[in-house]
Amino acid sequence: MHSFIHSVCALFLLFLLCQPAQAGDNPDADRQAVVLAAFGTTVPKALPGILNIRDRLQRQYPQTPVKIAFTSNIIRRIWQGRRGDAAFITANPSVPADVYTVQGPLATIANLQDQGYRTIIVQPGHISAGEEYLDLVAAIDGLNSIRTIKPKFRPFEKLAVGRPAMGTAGEQHPYSEDLALIARALADDAVQAEKANAALLYMAHGNTYMPSGSAYLEFASIMNRLYPQVKTYIALVEGYPSLDDTLPLLEHAGVSKLLLKPFMTVAGDHTVNDMAGDEPEAWKSILSAKGYEVMTVAKGLGEIDAFADVYLHHLQQTATDHGIVLH
Amino acid sequence: MHSFIHSVCALFLLFLLCQPAQAGDNPDADRQAVVLAAFGTTVPKALPGILNIRDRLQRQYPQTPVKIAFTSNIIRRIWQGRRGDAAFITANPSVPADVYTVQGPLATIANLQDQGYRTIIVQPGHISAGEEYLDLVAAIDGLNSIRTIKPKFRPFEKLAVGRPAMGTAGEQHPYSEDLALIARALADDAVQAEKANAALLYMAHGNTYMPSGSAYLEFASIMNRLYPQVKTYIALVEGYPSLDDTLPLLEHAGVSKLLLKPFMTVAGDHTVNDMAGDEPEAWKSILSAKGYEVMTVAKGLGEIDAFADVYLHHLQQTATDHGIVLH
Amino acid sequence: MHSFIHSVCALFLLFLLCQPAQAGDNPDADRQAVVLAAFGTTVPKALPGILNIRDRLQRQYPQTPVKIAFTSNIIRRIWQGRRGDAAFITANPSVPADVYTVQGPLATIANLQDQGYRTIIVQPGHISAGEEYLDLVAAIDGLNSIRTIKPKFRPFEKLAVGRPAMGTAGEQHPYSEDLALIARALADDAVQAEKANAALLYMAHGNTYMPSGSAYLEFASIMNRLYPQVKTYIALVEGYPSLDDTLPLLEHAGVSKLLLKPFMTVAGDHTVNDMAGDEPEAWKSILSAKGYEVMTVAKGLGEIDAFADVYLHHLQQTATDHGIVLH
Amino acid sequence: MHSFIHSVCALFLLFLLCQPAQAGDNPDADRQAVVLAAFGTTVPKALPGILNIRDRLQRQYPQTPVKIAFTSNIIRRIWQGRRGDAAFITANPSVPADVYTVQGPLATIANLQDQGYRTIIVQPGHISAGEEYLDLVAAIDGLNSIRTIKPKFRPFEKLAVGRPAMGTAGEQHPYSEDLALIARALADDAVQAEKANAALLYMAHGNTYMPSGSAYLEFASIMNRLYPQVKTYIALVEGYPSLDDTLPLLEHAGVSKLLLKPFMTVAGDHTVNDMAGDEPEAWKSILSAKGYEVMTVAKGLGEIDAFADVYLHHLQQTATDHGIVLH
C-alpha cells in the first residue's frame, strides 16, 4: 500500500511539474468560461450528442474554455469508476479524457472560479425546463446569493445560466419562439418521414412528478403547422402524455407507418433500450405488435448541427442579456 | 506544443489508471469530510501553523478526510504558480503536495461533494469573526440555500460551518467563553513573559473597514485577569487599536521589556516583516526606538497544540450541534 | 383640510379605543393563522368563489384566523379605490368588509406576524402551479430565508405554503393524485353534461409565457377515463392549447352540444366576458357561430363545496408536513 | 358581543368612507417612502429621541412619507396594549397616533409596498451595527431575494437599507468616518463637560453575545483626540467594556467629577433606571458610592439635532448609492 501511495505521489509531483502555472499568468484578468451542463450518458457512442454541442460552442468562441458537466450523479459515478478501468479505456478510444473526469455543475463551476474564471455562463444541455434544469438554476441561484463584505471578493463577477432548448418561463425570450426554433432545426425529420410516407413519433423524457407534457405537445402542434404533409406526435417515457395516451390518436388518424426518434440530446439508454430495444416493453415492440411498421433512428438531437446550434443561440442571448462578450 | 499536449495526455491517462475508483465503491454511503479553511500563507516555514491544526483534527477523526482550503485568492495563486516551479519544489521538501494544489473553500467543498461527501463541516482556521470568516459563512449559506425538486438530490446532506477561534455572535456558544478558552491555551505565553520579567504584547491582524478590536481587547482583559502577574496588551496591524493607540498604555504602565508575539495562526508575512522585521516601520524597530527591550517569538498560534485544539473543540461542538458523528 | 384631518384623527382615536388589545393578552403564545391567497376578483357576485373556500377552511379550524389575500395588484387597487366609494358600498351589501381592505400576501403575512402570529400556513387559492403560485412561493421563500443572530427573534416559527388545487412538482404529493381528486370533486359536471347529452368544455386560464397546458390536458384525460360517458375538453385563455387548438378535436369527435364552464375558482371577468359574453370573440359566440349548441354555467369552482374542499385537503397535508396542528 | 361587533363594523365602514382612495389615484407612479426603524421605547417622554429624527428626515423630503417602525417586539406589544387604554391615551396627549399603531420593519415595509410604494429606503435608527441592525438587514435581504417570473411583478423596485449612526463594515463608507461625524456632532457634550470641569462618561448599550465594544472605544478615542481638554470614556450596559472594566481607568486618570450621558438615541428605560436611577445598581449610584461627583443628563442622542442629522446624512448617501432621488 505504501509503495502504491509513493508511486502515486511521485506521479503527482511529475504532474505538478508538467502543469502550466495557468492562473498565475495574469491574475487580474477577468477570465470567462462556459459550462455545458448536460444530464450525461454512460453510453460511449451516445456521447457525440453532448460533445457535438460542446464542439460547436467551442468553435464559436475559441478563446473561451467550454467545459462539460454532467448533472446526473449516477452517470458521473459510473465514469468515475471507469477511470481506473484499463480495459474500458482501451476499448473506447473515442471517449475524450474530460469525460472520465467530468464533474457536476457545482464542482465544475467552483473549479473554474478557483482558477480565476469569475465570469461564467452555464448553458444547460437539457431539452426542457424540467426538474434537472430547475435544480441547476437553484444551484446557480445559491452561488449567486453569496455576498461578501468587500464587493471585489465576491466569488463571481457574473454567473449566468442559459435556458434549455425548449426555453423557460418568462417574457424576455418567449418559450414558444424557442419551440419554433427547434421545429425549424428538425426540418430533416419531417423530410425523412415524408419520404417514407410515415408519421413522425418522438420519444421525449418527461417526469412523473411534474407536469411537463405541455411544451412537448405544443412543439408537436408547431411541427404539424410547419410541416402539414407529415403527422407529428410526441410521447413521454415518464408522465403525461405516455405512449398509451398517444396510441388512440395514432389509430384515430389512420397512421400505419412510423418514424420513431428520440427527442433527447443523446441517444443513450432510453433510445437503445426503451425506444428501439427488442424487449416487449420497448416502444418499437409495442408499436410493431399493434401492427405499425416502425423505423427507428438512434441519433441524439445534439448530433444534429442545426439542433446543437439552438444551444449556441441561447448561449449568445444569455451572454447579451448579461452584458458578457464571449471571444 | 502538440507533442507537449500529447505527453500531458499520456501522463493523464496514466494518472487515470492509477486512481482508485473512489466514490464508485459504495455510492450510497453518506460520506463525511472536514474542511479546514484558513487564510493561508506563502511562507513555507509558516505552514505548520495550519498543518498542525489539520493534523490534530485528522488524528482525532482518522476515518474522516480533513482537507485544507485557503481563503486568500492571492496566496492560492502564488501556490498555483509554484506547481510548475521545479526549483521551488526541490528547495522546499517539507511542503506537502496538498499545499501546491490547495483551493478556496468553494472549490474544496464542491469537489468533496462531487466525490460523494454530502456531509461536510467547514472549520474556519481564522482567529476572529472578521471579514474572512463572514465571507466564508456567506459562501456556505449560499450553498445551503440550494433546494431541489426532490429532496434527495440536494447537494448536501449537512453542510455546517464552525466558528473561528475567538467565537462568533450568538447565545449558543458565547464568544466570551471562547476567549477564556484561548487565554487558558496560551498560559505558556504568560509564563514565558513572567520569566523574562516582560509585558506581553500580541500583534493581531484587525481590519480597517470593520470594527474588530473589541474581542481582542476583551481577550487581553481576560489574560490580565487570569495571569495578573503579567501585563498583556494587544494591538492590530489594521484598525483600532493600532500600535500607536497602545504605546501610551505601555508608557503609562511603566513597561520596559516586551515579549512580542503574533496573535495569528501562522507566523507568516506579518510576523516576519511587520512584527519582527528590521525595517523602521516594523513593530520591533518602533518599540526598540522608543527604548523598549523587545523579544520576538515568530511562532504561529496554530503551532501551539493547546491553541490548535481550540479549533478541535469548536469542530466537535459544531458536529454535535448538527447531529453529525465524526469518526 | 385641517378640519378633515382633525375629524379623521378623532375617528382614529375612537377606533383605537374600540380595539381589543389583541396581541397583548398573551404575548408568549405561539399564535397560528392561515392565509388564503387567491388571485382575486373585482366582480362582487364572483366573490363567493373565494369566500366559500375561506368559510370552509374557517369552519374546519374555528380557532384559527383565516385571512384572505389577493395576489393581483390591479384587483387590490380597485378594491382600495372602492373603500371611499359610498355608492358602491351601499349598492353591494354582500361584500364583506375584509374584501375592501384586502392586501397582498406579503402584507397579509407581515401584519399577522406583527400581531404575534408566528406560525402561518399560506394556502394558495390558485388552480395550477403557474406564475402566480410560483411568485407566491418566491415571496414565502424570501421571508423564510430571514435568519437572526438569536434564533428566538426569527420572524416566523413556521411559515409554510400549501399547493394549488392541481398540485405542484415533487414526489411527496404527486400532482396526478391531486388531478384525480379534482376530477372526483367535479362529478356533477359530468352528470350535468350527460343529462344534456353534451360534451363538457372547460375554460382554464393558462399563461402565454410558461407552458402550462399539460396539467389541464392530463386532467381532461382523467375526466374522460373517470366519466367515459361524457367527452371532456379543456382549453386556455392564454397559451397552448387555445380554443383554436381545441376546435379540430371537437369537430373530429362529432360533438354538437357543449356545456361550457370556467375552470377557475371564481366566475369573474373571464367567465362573464371572455367565456359567456356576447362579443364575437367570446367563446360562446365563437362556438355558436361554428354551429354548436352552447350552454354556459357561470359558477366559479370555489363555489362548489367538493372543489373548495380540495384546498382544505391540501391545507391539512401542509399542516401535517410541517408538524402544525390547527384548531 | 354581537352588538359590539356590529358597532365596530359600522365604525369600520365609516372609516372606509373617510379614507381617500390613496393608491388608486395613480397606480403606475413609482412611489417612494422612507422607514425609520428604531429599537423603540415605552417611555412617552423619551419618544422625541426617535420623533426628532423622523421629523428632520421628513422636513428634508416633504413629499416622501417617513414612517417609523420599532424593531423591539416587546415594545411594540406594549404600545399595542395601550391602544385600547383610554386613561393612558388621555394622560399622554403628546404621543402621536402613529406610535400607538407602530409596527415592526417587516409589516411597515410590507404595508407600504401594498399601498404602491415600491422604492423604499429603510434607515436604521440604531446607534451601532449590532444585533438589531444585523437582524434588520437580514429581513431586508430576505425581501430583496424575492424573484418573480416577470420582473415587473417583483415586490420592490428598490429596497435599500442605510447604516446605523456608527456605520457598518465595508470600504464604501468607512465606519471610522462615521465615528468622526458623530464626535463632531457631539461637540456640545465636550463643551458642557469642560465647563463643569468633569470627565465625560457615556453609557452605551452593547451586547453580551457579540463583541461590540470596539467601535465605542474607537469613538471615545476620537473624542479624546478631537476634544483633548476633556477626558471621554464609554462603557456598556451589556458586554465588554462594562462599567467595572472602566472604573480602573477613571481612577487611574484621577477623575473626580463625571458628566454621565446616555449614548443611545432615546433616553428611555436604560437612562431612567440603569443610568440615572436611585437603585444601588444604577451607574449614578455606583459612581457616587465610589466618591465621584456625578451629573446626569437624561437626553437621548436623537433629540440633539446635529446627531439626528447623522441619520439624515446616512440616508442621503444610501439614496445616492442606489440611484434614488428623494423629494
Asked whether the beta carbons of A213 and A241 are under 8 A apart, the reply is yes
Asked whether the beta carbons of A113 and A155 are under 8 A apart, the reply is yes
pLDDT for res A41: 96
Band of residue D19 on the pLDDT scale cut at 50, 70, 90: low
pLDDT for res D190: 98
All three cell numbers of D85, joined, read: 387604554
pLDDT for res A213: 84
Q: Give contacts of D141 with chain C, Cβ < 8 Å.
A: 145-146
Strand order in the sheet with C158-161: C66-70, C31-38, C117-124, C158-161
Active site residue A313: no
Active site positions of C, annotated: 205
Q: Which residue has the cell 506521479?
A: A11
Band of residue A192 on the pLDDT scale cut at 50, 70, 90: very high
pLDDT for res C30: 77
CA nearest neighbour of A261 among A226, A221, A319, A302: A302
A17 lies within 8 A of chain B by CB = yes
Q: pLDDT at residue B14 above 70?
A: no
D149 lies within 8 A of chain A by CB = yes
pLDDT for res B212: 84
D235: left (phi over 0), alpha (psi -120 to 50) or beta: beta
Neighbours of chain C (3+ CB pairs under 8 A): A, B, D
Q: pLDDT at residue A17 above 70?
A: no
pLDDT for res A16: 59
**pLDDT tens digits, residue range D212-221?**
888 999 999 9
- The CATH code for residues D187-301 is 3.40.50.1400
Q: pLDDT at residue D133 above 60?
A: yes
Asked whether the beta carbons of B260 and B276 are under 8 A apart, the reply is yes
Which of these ranges, C26-30, C219-223, D273-277, has the smallest mean pLDDT?
C26-30
Burial B169-180 (b: 16+ CB within 10 A, else e): bbeebebbebbb
Q: pLDDT at residue B21 above 70?
A: no
Percent helix / strand / coil, chain B, rounded to 5: 50, 15, 35
**pLDDT tens digits, residue range A232-291?**
999 999 999 999 999 999 999 999 999 999 999 999 999 999 999 999 999 999 999 999
B174 lies within 8 A of chain D by CB = yes
- The CATH code for residues D30-174+305-321 is 3.40.50.1400
Band of residue C213 on the pLDDT scale cut at 50, 70, 90: confident
User: How far is it, in rounded angstroms, from Cα C213 to Cα C202?
Assistant: 12
Average pLDDT over residues A212-231: 95
**pLDDT tens digits, residue range B138-182?**
999 999 999 999 999 999 999 999 999 999 999 999 999 999 999
pLDDT for res D24: 41
Q: Give which of A171, A173, A175, A321 to mutate to test D binding, by max D Cβ within 10 Å.
A: A171
CB distance D217–B214 less than 8 Å?
A: yes
What residues contact residue D300 under an 8 Å CB cut-off, 6+ apart? D46, D48, D49, D50, D262, D264, D265, D266, D267, D268, D271
Give the mean pLDDT of chain B: 92
Let me know if the fold of D30-174+305-321 is the same as that of D187-301. yes
Which of these ranges, A1-10, A49-58, C159-168, D193-202, has the smallest mean pLDDT?
A1-10
B226 lies within 8 A of chain A by CB = no
Distance from C131 to chain A by nearest Cα, in Å? 8
pLDDT for res A207: 93
User: How far is it, in rounded angstroms, from Cα D253 to Cα D132?
Assistant: 34
**pLDDT tens digits, residue range C264-315?**
999 999 999 999 999 999 999 999 999 999 999 999 999 999 999 999 999 9
**pLDDT tens digits, residue range C124-152?**
999 999 999 999 999 999 999 999 999 99
Q: Give contacts of D150 with chain A, Cβ < 8 Å.
A: 170-171
Which of these ranges, B270-274, D9-13, D152-156, has the smallest mean pLDDT?
D9-13
**Annotation: binding site of A:** 205, 238, 270
User: How far is it, in rounded angstroms, from Cα C219 to Cα C234?
Assistant: 9
User: How far is it, in rounded angstroms, from Cα D168 to Cα D178?
Assistant: 9
Q: Which residue has the cell 450528442?
A: A49
All three cell numbers of C108, joined, read: 397579509
Question: Is D270 a known ligand-binding residue?
Answer: yes
* Cα D224 to chain centroid, rounded: 25
Band of residue C18 on the pLDDT scale cut at 50, 70, 90: low
All three cell numbers of A130, joined, read: 424540467
**pLDDT tens digits, residue range C50-77?**
999 999 999 999 999 999 999 999 999 9
For D175, which of B170, B176, B210 is closest by C-beta distance?
A: B210
Segments making up each domain of chain B, as ranges: 30-174+305-321, 187-301
Q: pLDDT at residue B215 above 60?
A: yes
B72 lies within 8 A of chain D by CB = no
Strand, coil or helix: what is A60? helix
Average pLDDT over residues D236-251: 96
User: How far is it, in rounded angstroms, from Cα B5 to Cα A1?
Assistant: 31
Band of residue C28 on the pLDDT scale cut at 50, 70, 90: very low
Q: pLDDT at residue B3 above 50?
A: no
Exactly one of D2, D6, D126, D205 is catalytic; name it: D205
**pLDDT tens digits, residue range C165-202?**
999 999 999 999 999 999 999 999 999 999 999 999 99
Band of residue C7 on the pLDDT scale cut at 50, 70, 90: very low
User: How far is it, in rounded angstroms, from Cα C143 to Cα D254?
Assistant: 53
CB distance B169–D214 less than 8 Å?
A: no
All three cell numbers of C224, joined, read: 374522460
Q: What is the pTM of this model?
A: 0.93
CB distance C148–D135 less than 8 Å?
A: yes
pLDDT for res B5: 44
D176 lies within 8 A of chain B by CB = yes
**pLDDT tens digits, residue range B42-100?**
999 999 999 999 999 999 999 999 999 999 999 999 999 999 899 999 999 999 999 99
Task: Count the Cβ atoms, other than its own, within 10 Å of residue C202.
Answer: 23
Exactly one of B205, B313, B314, B327 is catalytic; name it: B205
Q: Give contacts of C7 with chain D, Cβ < 8 Å.
A: 18
**Annotation: binding site of A for Co(2+):** 205, 238, 270
What residues contact residue D320 under an 8 Å CB cut-off, 6+ apart? none
Question: Is C205 a known ligand-binding residue?
Answer: yes
Average pLDDT over residues D74-84: 94
* Cα A80 to chain centroid, rounded: 19
Q: Which residue has the cell 402544525?
A: C324
Q: pLDDT at residue D5 above 50?
A: no
Q: pLDDT at residue D21 above 50?
A: no
User: How far is it, in rounded angstroms, from Cα C74 to Cα A28?
Assistant: 49
For A217, which of C169, C208, C217 is closest by C-beta distance?
A: C217
User: How far is it, in rounded angstroms, from Cα D312 to Cα D60?
Assistant: 8
Q: Give contacts of C213 with chain A, Cβ < 8 Å.
A: 214, 217-218
Q: pLDDT at residue B300 above 60?
A: yes
Residue of chain C whose alpha carbon sits nearest to that of A176: C209
Average pLDDT over residues D68-74: 96
CA nearest neighbour of D208 among D241, D234, D248, D249: D241
B29 lies within 8 A of chain A by CB = no
Q: pLDDT at residue B262 above 60?
A: yes
Band of residue A20 on the pLDDT scale cut at 50, 70, 90: very low
C152 lies within 8 A of chain D by CB = no
